[in-house]
Amino acid sequence: MSAQEFAPGLVIQHFVPPLRLGDFKAIAFDMDSTLISIECIDEIADAVGKKAEVAAITEAATRGEITDFKDSLRRRVALLKGVPAESLQEVYDQRLKINPGAPELINAAKAAGLQTLLVSGGFTFFADRVRERLGMHEAHSNTLEIEGGLLTGRVLGDIVDGEAKKQHLLRLCERIGCDPRQSIAVGDGANDLLMMGVAGLSVAYHAKPKVREQAMVAINEGGLDRVLALMA
């Protein structure tokens, strides 16, 4: 079934609506440029005058032009060496905005009994706060190393990349006893394609072309809660 415009700025393919939200058991979200309006790493880099350099790598990674996400993240984080840790709070307070429709979609999903998962190639400082702010069940992301009140330019532990996002969603499904096809995955970049590929419903939100082409739903205009227009 070829892509069709279900409503202005809302494109669907490979299924016929309506669906029932209650038939799904879990919903996973990317964070940067999906649940929130910014790419946090680009805004942190602004504190040391390196936003353009970091943002260029971020853009290439999300478009799928850089295939090794872990390497691209290490390169970007290395450029943050020496950034004061309080800059993270400034980015959160002054620049981070929740995207339109995110609270409505998450609240509807929870009301229908779905588990809500945030999986991000971004950072725990933001992901944990966004998870709490939106009342989500769990979050997984990357931890920036801080020493003496400054970022070291390194990430602690295993990096959450596209494969890790997929695995977190599969583990959640296994834990709650559902088939991955009973899950929804929402994202905007190439790093989200693996988890979108195992979900029963994949949603691209104001996404890169490669992601829009592969997703079952593409929200190109309006908020995240436009998914609900596809539900009975």
Annotated active-site positions, please?
A: 30, 32
Q: How far apart are CA 62 and CA 211, in angstroms?
A: 9
Q: How far apart are CA 8 and CA 64, in angstroms?
A: 27
Q: How far apart are CA 127 and CA 141, in angstroms?
A: 7
Residue ranges with strand state E in 50-149 = 115-123, 138-147
Q: How far apart are CA 215 and CA 207, in angstroms?
A: 10
Strand ranges across the sheet with 4-7: 4-7, 10-12, 217-219, 201-205, 183-187, 26-29, 115-123, 138-147, 150-156
Residue pointed to by tokens 């309080």 = 86
